[in-house]
Chains A and B, each alone.
Chain A
Amino acid sequence: AQKITQTQPGMFVQEKEAVTLDCTYDTSDPSYGLFWYKQPSSGEMIFLIYQGSYDQQNATEGRYSLNFQKARKSANLVISASQLGDSAMYFCAMRDPGAGSYQLTFGKGTKLSVIP
Protein backbone atom coordinates (compact mmCIF):
# COMPACT_ATOMS: atom_id res chain seq x y z
CA ALA A 1 0.00 0.00 0.00
CA GLN A 2 1.27 3.45 -0.86
CA LYS A 3 2.39 5.22 2.26
CA ILE A 4 3.41 8.62 0.91
CA THR A 5 1.32 10.47 -1.68
CA GLN A 6 2.43 13.54 -3.54
CA THR A 7 -0.43 14.49 -5.84
CA GLN A 8 1.35 17.29 -7.75
CA PRO A 9 3.73 15.94 -10.41
CA GLY A 10 4.67 19.51 -11.33
CA MET A 11 4.20 23.00 -9.94
CA PHE A 12 5.00 26.50 -11.15
CA VAL A 13 5.52 29.50 -8.91
CA GLN A 14 6.46 33.09 -9.59
CA GLU A 15 9.74 34.22 -8.10
CA LYS A 16 9.31 35.78 -4.63
CA GLU A 17 5.90 34.14 -4.16
CA ALA A 18 5.15 31.38 -1.65
CA VAL A 19 4.33 27.83 -2.75
CA THR A 20 2.90 24.80 -0.99
CA LEU A 21 3.87 21.27 -1.99
CA ASP A 22 1.40 18.64 -0.84
CA CYS A 23 2.17 15.41 0.96
CA THR A 24 -0.14 12.95 2.66
CA TYR A 25 0.96 9.84 4.45
CA ASP A 26 -0.44 6.66 5.86
CA THR A 27 0.72 4.83 8.96
CA SER A 28 -0.88 3.13 11.91
CA ASP A 29 2.12 3.71 14.15
CA PRO A 30 1.87 6.66 16.58
CA SER A 31 5.61 7.31 16.34
CA TYR A 32 6.98 8.35 12.96
CA GLY A 33 9.04 11.03 11.28
CA LEU A 34 8.39 13.05 8.16
CA PHE A 35 11.10 14.49 5.92
CA TRP A 36 11.40 16.70 2.88
CA TYR A 37 14.32 16.43 0.49
CA LYS A 38 15.24 18.59 -2.50
CA GLN A 39 16.88 17.16 -5.59
CA PRO A 40 18.28 19.80 -7.97
CA SER A 41 19.31 18.91 -11.50
CA SER A 42 22.80 18.04 -10.25
CA GLY A 43 21.31 14.93 -8.65
CA GLU A 44 22.15 15.05 -4.97
CA MET A 45 19.40 14.75 -2.41
CA ILE A 46 19.45 17.67 0.02
CA PHE A 47 17.70 17.40 3.38
CA LEU A 48 15.38 20.33 4.02
CA ILE A 49 13.21 19.78 7.07
CA TYR A 50 12.03 17.18 9.57
CA GLN A 51 8.84 16.79 11.63
CA GLY A 52 8.43 14.23 14.37
CA SER A 53 4.95 12.88 15.03
CA TYR A 54 5.06 14.04 18.64
CA ASP A 55 6.38 17.50 17.88
CA GLN A 56 3.91 20.08 19.12
CA GLN A 57 4.93 22.82 16.73
CA ASN A 58 5.33 22.85 12.99
CA ALA A 59 8.95 22.60 11.92
CA THR A 60 10.61 25.59 10.30
CA GLU A 61 14.03 25.97 8.66
CA GLY A 62 14.66 29.37 7.14
CA ARG A 63 12.30 29.79 4.18
CA TYR A 64 10.97 26.25 4.61
CA SER A 65 8.13 25.33 6.92
CA LEU A 66 6.17 22.15 7.30
CA ASN A 67 2.42 22.44 7.69
CA PHE A 68 1.80 19.36 9.82
CA GLN A 69 -1.84 18.36 10.21
CA LYS A 70 -1.77 15.10 12.11
CA ALA A 71 -5.48 14.34 12.01
CA ARG A 72 -5.51 14.74 8.24
CA LYS A 73 -2.17 12.90 7.89
CA SER A 74 -0.71 15.66 5.83
CA ALA A 75 2.76 17.22 5.92
CA ASN A 76 2.83 19.94 3.30
CA LEU A 77 6.03 21.85 2.58
CA VAL A 78 5.72 25.62 2.35
CA ILE A 79 8.48 27.57 0.64
CA SER A 80 8.26 31.29 1.21
CA ALA A 81 9.73 33.93 -1.10
CA SER A 82 10.64 31.48 -3.88
CA GLN A 83 13.99 31.86 -5.56
CA LEU A 84 15.17 30.63 -8.96
CA GLY A 85 17.45 28.19 -7.16
CA ASP A 86 14.42 26.50 -5.63
CA SER A 87 13.64 24.91 -9.00
CA ALA A 88 14.11 21.19 -8.33
CA MET A 89 12.37 17.93 -7.51
CA TYR A 90 10.99 17.76 -3.99
CA PHE A 91 10.42 14.48 -2.20
CA CYS A 92 8.36 13.84 0.89
CA ALA A 93 9.44 10.83 2.94
CA MET A 94 8.43 9.03 6.10
CA ARG A 95 10.32 6.93 8.57
CA ASP A 96 8.04 4.44 10.28
CA PRO A 97 9.93 2.63 13.04
CA GLY A 98 6.89 0.50 13.59
CA ALA A 99 7.86 -1.26 10.40
CA GLY A 100 10.93 -2.46 12.25
CA SER A 101 13.44 -0.45 10.33
CA TYR A 102 14.87 3.01 9.87
CA GLN A 103 14.19 2.97 6.16
CA LEU A 104 12.59 5.96 4.49
CA THR A 105 9.51 5.58 2.31
CA PHE A 106 9.37 8.21 -0.43
CA GLY A 107 6.65 9.78 -2.49
CA LYS A 108 6.97 10.13 -6.25
CA GLY A 109 8.08 13.72 -5.97
CA THR A 110 6.94 17.13 -7.20
CA LYS A 111 8.90 19.06 -9.79
CA LEU A 112 8.90 22.73 -8.85
CA SER A 113 9.71 25.36 -11.44
CA VAL A 114 10.27 28.94 -10.31
CA ILE A 115 9.45 31.51 -12.98
CA PRO A 116 11.39 34.78 -13.05
Chain B
Amino acid sequence: EAGVTQFPSHSVIEKGQTVTLRCDPISGHDNLYWYRRVMGKEIKFLLHFVKESKQDESGMPNNRFLAERTGGTYSTLKVQPAELEDSGVYFCASSPQRGAPEAFFGQGTRLTVV
Protein backbone atom coordinates (compact mmCIF):
# COMPACT_ATOMS: atom_id res chain seq x y z
CA GLU B 1 0.00 0.00 0.00
CA ALA B 2 1.37 3.39 -1.00
CA GLY B 3 2.02 5.87 1.79
CA VAL B 4 1.37 9.58 1.83
CA THR B 5 3.08 11.18 -1.14
CA GLN B 6 4.06 14.81 -1.46
CA PHE B 7 5.21 16.76 -4.51
CA PRO B 8 7.62 18.36 -5.02
CA SER B 9 10.20 17.25 -2.48
CA HIS B 10 12.00 20.59 -2.78
CA SER B 11 11.01 23.96 -4.18
CA VAL B 12 13.02 27.16 -4.40
CA ILE B 13 11.09 30.26 -5.46
CA GLU B 14 11.56 33.99 -5.36
CA LYS B 15 9.65 36.23 -3.02
CA GLY B 16 6.38 37.23 -4.62
CA GLN B 17 6.01 34.11 -6.72
CA THR B 18 3.36 31.44 -6.34
CA VAL B 19 3.98 27.86 -5.31
CA THR B 20 1.59 24.93 -5.15
CA LEU B 21 2.32 21.91 -3.02
CA ARG B 22 0.50 18.66 -3.57
CA CYS B 23 -0.36 15.81 -1.22
CA ASP B 24 -1.73 12.39 -2.11
CA PRO B 25 -3.02 10.73 1.05
CA ILE B 26 -3.27 7.01 1.67
CA SER B 27 -6.19 5.66 -0.33
CA GLY B 28 -9.39 5.60 1.70
CA HIS B 29 -8.20 8.04 4.36
CA ASP B 30 -10.86 10.67 4.91
CA ASN B 31 -8.73 12.85 7.18
CA LEU B 32 -5.98 14.94 5.63
CA TYR B 33 -3.79 17.37 7.53
CA TRP B 34 -1.21 19.96 6.60
CA TYR B 35 1.60 20.90 8.99
CA ARG B 36 4.61 23.17 8.68
CA ARG B 37 7.98 23.32 10.36
CA VAL B 38 9.83 26.58 10.14
CA MET B 39 13.58 26.34 10.84
CA GLY B 40 14.28 25.85 14.52
CA LYS B 41 10.64 25.84 15.53
CA GLU B 42 8.06 23.21 16.35
CA ILE B 43 5.97 21.48 13.73
CA LYS B 44 2.77 23.51 13.57
CA PHE B 45 -0.69 22.49 12.45
CA LEU B 46 -2.12 24.35 9.46
CA LEU B 47 -5.43 22.72 8.64
CA HIS B 48 -7.53 19.57 8.60
CA PHE B 49 -9.80 18.22 5.89
CA VAL B 50 -12.46 15.59 6.35
CA LYS B 51 -13.05 14.38 2.82
CA GLU B 52 -13.41 17.58 0.82
CA SER B 53 -14.54 19.77 3.73
CA LYS B 54 -12.28 21.98 5.82
CA GLN B 55 -12.80 20.77 9.37
CA ASP B 56 -10.32 23.08 11.03
CA GLU B 57 -8.20 25.78 9.42
CA SER B 58 -7.23 27.57 12.61
CA GLY B 59 -3.52 27.14 11.90
CA MET B 60 -3.44 28.84 8.51
CA PRO B 61 -1.13 31.84 8.97
CA ASN B 62 -2.86 34.29 6.63
CA ASN B 63 -4.87 34.61 3.45
CA ARG B 64 -1.84 34.05 1.25
CA PHE B 65 -2.32 30.35 1.95
CA LEU B 66 -5.10 28.47 0.19
CA ALA B 67 -5.73 24.75 0.63
CA GLU B 68 -8.10 22.67 -1.43
CA ARG B 69 -9.12 19.04 -1.54
CA THR B 70 -11.35 18.59 -4.53
CA GLY B 71 -13.28 15.33 -4.56
CA GLY B 72 -11.86 14.35 -1.21
CA THR B 73 -8.75 12.77 -2.71
CA TYR B 74 -5.52 14.70 -3.15
CA SER B 75 -4.96 18.12 -1.66
CA THR B 76 -3.07 21.20 -2.76
CA LEU B 77 -1.64 24.00 -0.70
CA LYS B 78 -0.99 27.20 -2.60
CA VAL B 79 1.09 30.07 -1.30
CA GLN B 80 0.50 33.31 -3.21
CA PRO B 81 2.47 35.52 -3.04
CA ALA B 82 5.26 33.75 -1.18
CA GLU B 83 7.21 35.63 1.48
CA LEU B 84 10.61 34.86 3.01
CA GLU B 85 9.04 33.69 6.28
CA ASP B 86 7.11 31.00 4.42
CA SER B 87 10.30 28.98 4.06
CA GLY B 88 10.17 25.66 5.86
CA VAL B 89 9.14 22.06 5.50
CA TYR B 90 5.48 21.42 4.74
CA PHE B 91 4.16 18.06 5.84
CA CYS B 92 0.97 16.35 4.84
CA ALA B 93 -0.58 13.55 6.88
CA SER B 94 -3.64 11.37 6.57
CA SER B 95 -5.64 9.07 8.79
CA PRO B 96 -8.76 6.95 8.46
CA GLN B 97 -12.04 8.09 9.89
CA ARG B 98 -12.14 5.15 12.26
CA GLY B 99 -9.56 2.78 13.59
CA ALA B 100 -6.03 3.48 14.71
CA PRO B 101 -5.51 7.01 16.01
CA GLU B 102 -2.18 7.74 14.40
CA ALA B 103 -1.71 9.94 11.37
CA PHE B 104 0.63 8.84 8.60
CA PHE B 105 2.95 11.51 7.31
CA GLY B 106 4.54 12.15 3.97
CA GLN B 107 8.20 12.99 3.52
CA GLY B 108 7.49 16.69 3.37
CA THR B 109 8.14 19.46 0.86
CA ARG B 110 11.06 21.73 1.65
CA LEU B 111 10.13 25.23 0.50
CA THR B 112 12.78 27.90 0.24
CA VAL B 113 11.74 31.46 -0.58
CA VAL B 114 14.63 33.68 -1.66
> Which residues of A line the B interface, CB within 8 A?
4, 33, 35, 37, 42-47, 50, 52, 91, 93, 95, 100-109
Interface residue SS majority, chain A: strand
Give 25 CB contacts A-B under 8 Å.
A4-B42, A35-B101, A43-B9, A43-B89, A43-B110, A45-B93, A47-B102, A47-B104, A47-B105, A50-B100, A101-B45, A101-B48, A101-B55, A102-B48, A102-B55, A103-B33, A103-B48, A103-B59, A104-B35, A104-B43, A105-B42, A106-B42, A106-B44, A108-B41, A108-B42
Within 8 A of A (CB), among B89-114: 89, 91, 93, 95, 100-108, 110
Q: Which residue of A lies closest to B4 (CB)?
A: A44
Once the chains bind, are B48 and A44 in contact (CB under 8 Å)?
no
Measured CB to CB, the residues of B under 8 A from A are: 3, 9, 31, 33, 35, 41-45, 48, 55-56, 58-59, 89, 91, 93, 95, 100-108, 110
CA distance A91 to B105 in the complex (A): 13
From residue B67, how far is it (CB to closest CB) to chain A in Å?
A: 14
Known contacts: A104-B45, A104-B103. The answer to whether A43 contacts B108 by CB under 8 A is yes
Cα–Cα distance between A54 and B48 once the two chains are bound (Å): 25
Q: Could you tell me the distance between the alpha carbons of A46 and B107 in the complex, rounded to whole angstroms?
A: 9
CA distance A27 to B35 in the complex (A): 21
CB pair A37–B105 under 8 Å, yes or no, is yes
- Bound complex: CA A46 to CA B110 (Å): 17
Check A101–B58 contact: CB distance below 8 A.
yes
CB pair A50 B48 closer than 8 Å: no
User: Among the listed A4, A44, A52, A107, which residue makes an inter-chain contact with B101, where contact means beta carbons less than 8 Å apart?
Assistant: A52
Cβ of B43: which chain A residues have Cβ within 8 Å of it?
Answer: 91, 93, 104, 106
Once A102-B48, A103-B48 are accepted as A-B contacts, the answer to whether A50 and B102 lie under 8 Å apart by CB is yes
B107–A44 CB distance below 8 A: yes
